[in-house]
Amino acid sequence: MKPGDSEPSPSIPTLTWDSVVDEPAPSGDDVSNPEDTPSQSDVMPDDDAVAGERISFDLQLDLGGGATPASASAAGTTSSETETETETETETAPDPAPTDPPADQPAPALVMPALTLDRTDAASAGPAAAESQPPNAASSDHQAVGDIGSPAPAAASVEAAIAPVTATAAEPATATSIEEQPSSEHSLQTDTSDDASAREATDVAAPAPSTPPPPLPPIREATPVEPLPATPAAPPAPSSDAVPVLAPQVATAAAPAPIQLPPSHQPDQTTMGRAIPSAATAASMVAAPPRRRKRRGRGLLALLFTLLVLGGIVAAAVIVGRPLLFPESDWDVDVEAYAVAIEEARGIEFVEPVEVVAEPATVFERRVNAEQLGDWEQQLPLWRALGLANGAVTVAAVDELLTGGPTAAYASSDGRVYQVEGSSGVQSDASVTGALTAAALDQEVRWSAEQDTRTLDGQTLVDAAVLAEQDRVRALTAFDTPLARRDPARLAFLPPVLGYRTIAPPVYAALLPTDAAMDAAAVERYAAIGDIVVAPSNPPVLPPGVSADGAAIAPDQSFWYLVFAGYVDAPTAYAASEAIVESSLTTATTDGVMCAYATFSGGAVAATTSLRSALDTWAASAPAEFTAAVTVLDDGTLQLRSCDPGAGFENGARFGTASELAGFRAAELATLSGVVDGGGSDADVAAALGRLDTAGVGAQLAALSPDTSAADLAAAAEASVEAVVVTPPAAAPAPATEE
């Protein structure tokens, strides 16, 4: 029934679209514009479509209150399985200019169209081929639909108006297509059905009149949803796009025409089902532009590069810094404990690690003797000519007499420490500690560099200084065990020069101050003691046709004491040697016989007289095989000549002269140390030495038995010089003056 013109239409008929999948498309005059008909490629098939299914859409518009929706299905068709999906689509359109409805017609309220998808199994639908479903027909959520109230576009656009009319005679159904852009919008298409009598009247609106129809009120959504935040307005769509217009009246059209929808963007899926403010226009409901995804590739590369740089820095720090923070020791594990103890005691680190080598006892003794005494075999002819070598003197015999010392020793020739193979215990620990201390001192002050060129006293006192440092350091470590010393009674059988080099150092070491570390200045000071009054004398006068074997040397007073003491008593030999202020010694070989030529000069007439008397006595007492003679040269210099009697000659010299010299020098060194420790000056030292000669303390110490130990001899020297060492009195305070 058609309502009157004056009263509002309470409802509009329902537009139902039934389609059978794979149904042949209309041909000929059924389609007015082939270009407007969507092709098969434009209609995207639904993933759930089954061949032979029948699809039905019901469009319900409630313009009044409580209108009953009209639905129609194709006649003769039954559905065994129906799936209903409701979709709400968001459509965008240019913002039309609002128009007021007629005054005599109230504004009807619109209800959101409900689209119902009816699927009929292909078996019940018949053999008709299935058509492709509209895309996205199975969307699970309702999509928001914007306000549709825009005026009809230009006459060139196809518009559809739907209005309630009375059912008319059946006419060929016209396919109404709602085409969607490729942005995942739905395409709605109505195809012609052969069973038109079973449908309700559904007409496609004729082209819109030239004057725009009144705007429709906003569509009220059937299912209220939560409001969605306002989205930014988008620019209006191009005017050439067609916009569907819903009108309150339905007009029939002579020819079907598809409905063209404007292009729109797929709304954000996170906003599906949310309500859009009713006041927003279609132009304002354009979906926000998609957010630009961050490019993770560059960030990953930057992170990888940063990690590589940090890894390189850490690796470089480990390589460079680890030796500084955690230095690896180059010391042998068996030697490191000694080295650490020595460094802590001395307060000075080793310049470089020292290797400790173990070797058999015989090899060790030979090495130690060579290091300490040097190449003494070449001096044997000279020593025999001066009475300093008695009988057969061999290297093996000397090594036999030198046994019994420490089990470890420092070798300055290669910087290593050697020890007896298999040695162990506290004595071995003390020996290794002492040898490493000598190595540390040599690295610091190079005390061994000029040892071969020093005088006899110089060599002996340097050896004593090294022993004193060894004793001082060992006492500050856990290896404080007294070192084993050679037996002085056996050393007395050595040639006097070798005997003095081995007997005197331990005695002198006990007399040197040990309250401070030995330094280069101390070493040089002790080395110069034997050179105080020694200077080169005039060269000797050789017989015609005789040439010297080499350059002359200037022995010190201790060497000449050992020469004189062989055939002169100890006090006379000591006085004669102390009278020498200049001397020289050279050798010359005639007819295969080597002879020694020495010249002397005394400091004063009395000293010179005493020296000549001692020389005459020595020449007279020496064996005839020496052919010794004393002459006075034109300048007053005394000259002594003595020749080598041959190897193995028994010269009959006095025994124990090396021990005597050690006694004399021990008294002097004890006096020197006592005066220096008391704060005395050089003048105080000279005065004390004068008193020492007067008292005869040196002669008393020289008279001690050759088998007296070094410790006992040093203690006797310190006790004997107490009377002659005078500590300078403290300065008396100035007397107070009366005012």
Q: What pLDDT is recorded for position 539?
A: 83
Q: Is residue 408 part of a domain?
A: yes
Q: Are 610 and 600 in contact (CB under 8 A)?
A: no
Q: Are 30 and 172 in contact (CB under 8 A)?
A: yes
Of residues 329 and 153, more confidence is placed in 329
d(CA 449, CA 438): 13
Q: Is residue 546 part of a domain?
A: no
Of residues 704 and 200, more confidence is placed in 704
Q: What pLDDT is recorded for position 367?
A: 94
User: pTM of the prediction?
Assistant: 0.57
Q: What pLDDT is recorded for position 718?
A: 92
The string of DSSP letters for 621-666 reads HS-GGG--EEEE-TTS-EEEEEE---TT----PPS-HHHHHHHHHH
d(CA 410, CA 342): 15
Judgement on whether residues 635 and 663 belong to the same structural domain of the protein: no
Q: What pLDDT is recorded for position 258?
A: 58
Q: What pLDDT is recorded for position 678?
A: 80
Question: Is a pLDDT exceeding 80 seen at residue 690?
Answer: yes
Of residues 441 and 302, more confidence is placed in 441
d(CA 576, CA 659): 18
Strands 188-189 and 408-411: unpaired
**Among candidate residues 489, 514, 531, the one where a domain is terminated:** 531
Q: What pLDDT is recorded for position 110?
A: 44
d(CA 576, CA 584): 15
Mean predicted confidence (pLDDT) in 511-518:
73
The alpha-helical segments, DSSP class H, found in 326-419 are: 336-346, 361-373, 380-385, 395-401
Judgement on whether residues 280 and 396 belong to the same structural domain of the protein: no
d(CA 677, CA 514): 11
Question: Is a pLDDT exceeding 80 seen at residue 221?
Answer: no
Question: Is a pLDDT exceeding 50 seen at residue 13?
Answer: no
Mean predicted confidence (pLDDT) in 551-579:
95
Judgement on whether residues 74 and 147 belong to the same structural domain of the protein: yes
Reported as a pLDDT band with limits 50, 70 and 90, residue 3 is very low
d(CA 375, CA 381): 13
Q: Is residue 548 part of a domain?
A: no
Q: What pLDDT is recorded for position 328?
A: 61
Reported as a pLDDT band with limits 50, 70 and 90, residue 291 is low
Q: What pLDDT is recorded for position 527?
A: 61
Judgement on whether residues 645 and 664 belong to the same structural domain of the protein: no
Judgement on whether residues 116 and 133 belong to the same structural domain of the protein: yes
Q: Is residue 78 part of a domain?
A: yes
Judgement on whether residues 158 and 59 belong to the same structural domain of the protein: yes
580-637 confidence digits (pLDDT tens): 989 999 999 988 999 999 999 988 888 889 999 999 999 999 999 999 999 999 888 9
From 57, 8, 30, 6, select the one nearest 163 (Cα to Cα): 8
CA triplet 717, 719, 722: central angle to 5 degrees?
Answer: 105
d(CA 220, CA 225): 11
Q: Is residue 732 part of a domain?
A: no
Burial 184-216 (b: 16+ CB within 10 A, else e): ebbbbbbbbbeebeebebbbbbbebeeeebbbb
Mean predicted confidence (pLDDT) in 727-737:
53
The string of DSSP letters for 175-193 reads --EEE--TTT---EE----
Please provide the average confidence, as pLDDT, over all residues in the chain.
71
Of residues 674 and 134, more confidence is placed in 674
Judgement on whether residues 155 and 272 belong to the same structural domain of the protein: yes
Q: Is residue 544 part of a domain?
A: no
**Among candidate residues 655, 673, 705, the one where a domain is terminated:** 655
Q: Are 165 and 14 in contact (CB under 8 A)?
A: no
Mean predicted confidence (pLDDT) in 217-237:
50
Judgement on whether residues 481 and 587 belong to the same structural domain of the protein: no
d(CA 284, CA 71): 34
Q: What pLDDT is recorded for position 602?
A: 86
333-376 confidence digits (pLDDT tens): 999 999 999 999 999 999 999 999 999 999 999 999 999 998 99
Reported as a pLDDT band with limits 50, 70 and 90, residue 421 is very high
Q: What pLDDT is recorded for position 672?
A: 86
Residue 100 tokens read as 């007021």
d(CA 133, CA 54): 9
- HEC sequence for 101-134: CCCCCCCCCEECCCCCCCCCCHHHHCCCCECCCC
Range name among 111-115, 370-374, 455-459, 721-725 with the lowest pLDDT average: 111-115
Question: Is 602 exposed, middle or buried, given 0-12, 13-18 or 19+ CB atoms closer than 10 A?
Answer: buried
What's the DSSP call for residue 476? T
Q: Please identify which residue in the block is written with the tokens 């009149």.
A: 209
Mean predicted confidence (pLDDT) in 415-422:
96
Q: Please identify which residue in the block is written with the tokens 């000929």.
A: 28
Of residues 215 and 612, more confidence is placed in 612
Q: Please identify which residue in the block is written with the tokens 């309700």.
A: 200
Q: What pLDDT is recorded for position 467?
A: 94
Q: What pLDDT is recorded for position 680?
A: 82
Q: What pLDDT is recorded for position 218?
A: 55
Residue 226 tokens read as 């939560």
Question: Is a pLDDT exceeding 50 seen at residue 200?
Answer: no
Reported as a pLDDT band with limits 50, 70 and 90, residue 322 is low
**Among candidate residues 482, 515, 531, the one where a domain is terminated:** 531
Range name among 141-155, 640-654, 669-683 with the lowest pLDDT average: 141-155
Cα atoms in the 13 Å half-sphere on the side-chain side of 65 = 1
Q: What pLDDT is recorded for position 288?
A: 54
Q: Tell me the residue type at 150.
A: S
d(CA 10, CA 70): 13
Reported as a pLDDT band with limits 50, 70 and 90, residue 676 is confident
Q: What pLDDT is recorded for position 263?
A: 59
Question: Is a pLDDT exceeding 60 seen at residue 417?
Answer: yes
Of residues 683 and 363, more confidence is placed in 363
Q: What pLDDT is recorded for position 503?
A: 97
Q: Is residue 423 part of a domain?
A: yes
Q: What pLDDT is recorded for position 483?
A: 85
The alpha-helical segments, DSSP class H, found in 534-584 are: 557-565, 570-578
Q: What pLDDT is recorded for position 187?
A: 37
Which domain does 618 fall in, by range? 557-655
d(CA 691, CA 465): 26
86-130 confidence digits (pLDDT tens): 333 333 344 444 444 444 444 444 444 444 444 444 434 443 443
d(CA 713, CA 708): 6
Question: Is a pLDDT exceeding 70 seen at residue 2?
Answer: no
Q: What pLDDT is recorded for position 598?
A: 96
pLDDT above 70 as % of the chain? 54
Q: Is residue 257 part of a domain?
A: yes
The string of DSSP letters for 192-237 reads --S-GGGSPP--PPPPPPSSPPPPPPPEEPSS---B-PPPPP-PPP
Mean predicted confidence (pLDDT) in 66-81:
40
d(CA 121, CA 80): 6
Judgement on whether residues 599 and 611 belong to the same structural domain of the protein: yes
Question: Is a pLDDT exceeding 90 seen at residue 570?
Answer: yes
Mean predicted confidence (pLDDT) in 444-466:
91
Judgement on whether residues 585 and 479 belong to the same structural domain of the protein: no
From 231, 220, 224, select the one nearest 275 (Cα to Cα): 224
Number of domains within the chain: 5
d(CA 380, CA 165): 153
Judgement on whether residues 381 and 504 belong to the same structural domain of the protein: yes
Question: Is a pLDDT exceeding 80 seen at residue 528?
Answer: no
Judgement on whether residues 625 and 503 belong to the same structural domain of the protein: no
Q: What pLDDT is recorded for position 530?
A: 56
